[in-house]
Amino acid sequence: MNRRTKTAAGLAAVALLAAGCTGSGGTSKGADAEAPTDPGEVSGTITVLTHRTDLVQDGTMKKYAAEFNRTHPKVKVEFDALTDYEGEVKIRMNTENYGDVLMIPTVVGKDDYPKFFASLGTETERAKKYLFTDFTTVDGKVYGQSPMGALPGFLYNRRIWKEAGITDWPATPAAFVDGLKAVGARTDAIPYYTNFKDMWPLTHWTYVDGAVSCDPRATSRLAGGDPWAKGEDLRVGDTMLHDIVRAGLTEKDPTTTNWEASKPGLAKGDIATMWLGSWAITQFRAAAEEAGADPDDIGFMPFPARRDGRFCATMSPDYNQAVNINSDHKEAARAWIDWFTDKSGYAADNLALSPVRGAPLPEVLRPYEEADVKLIELDDAQGALVKEIDNRSEVGIYKPDYRQDLVDLARGARKGSLDGFLGDLGRRWEEARKAAGS
Q: Using an 8 Å Cβ cutoff, are 315 and 378 in contact?
A: yes
Q: Using an 8 Å Cβ cutoff, are 101 and 73 in contact?
A: no
Q: Which fold has domain 6-146+318-359?
A: D-Maltodextrin-Binding Protein; domain 2 (3.40.190)
| pLDDT at residue 19 is higher than 70 | no
Q: Which fold has domain 149-317+361-438?
A: D-Maltodextrin-Binding Protein; domain 2 (3.40.190)
| pLDDT at residue 68 is higher than 50 | yes
Q: What is the pLDDT of residues 307-338, one digit of tens each?
A: 999 999 999 999 999 999 999 999 999 999 99
Give pLDDT, residue 109.
86
The CB-side HSE value for 90 (13 A sphere, CA atoms) comes to: 14
Q: What is the pLDDT of residues 353-394, one digit of tens each?
A: 999 999 999 988 989 999 999 999 988 888 889 999 999 999
Q: In what order do the strands lie in the sheet with 121-122?
A: 121-122, 141-142, 137-138
Residue 233 CA: distances (Å) to CA of 230, 246, 362: 9, 20, 27
| pLDDT at residue 223 is higher than 80 | yes
**Over residues 228-232, mean pLDDT:** 97
Domain with CATH 3.40.190.10 in the chain: 6-146+318-359, 149-317+361-438
Give pLDDT, residue 5.
45
Burial of 356-391, coded b for 16+ CB within 10 Å and e otherwise, reads eeeeebbebbebbeeeebbbbbbebebbbbbbbbbb
pTM: 0.84
Q: What is the pLDDT of residues 149-168, one digit of tens each?
A: 999 999 999 999 999 999 99
Give pLDDT, residue 394.
96
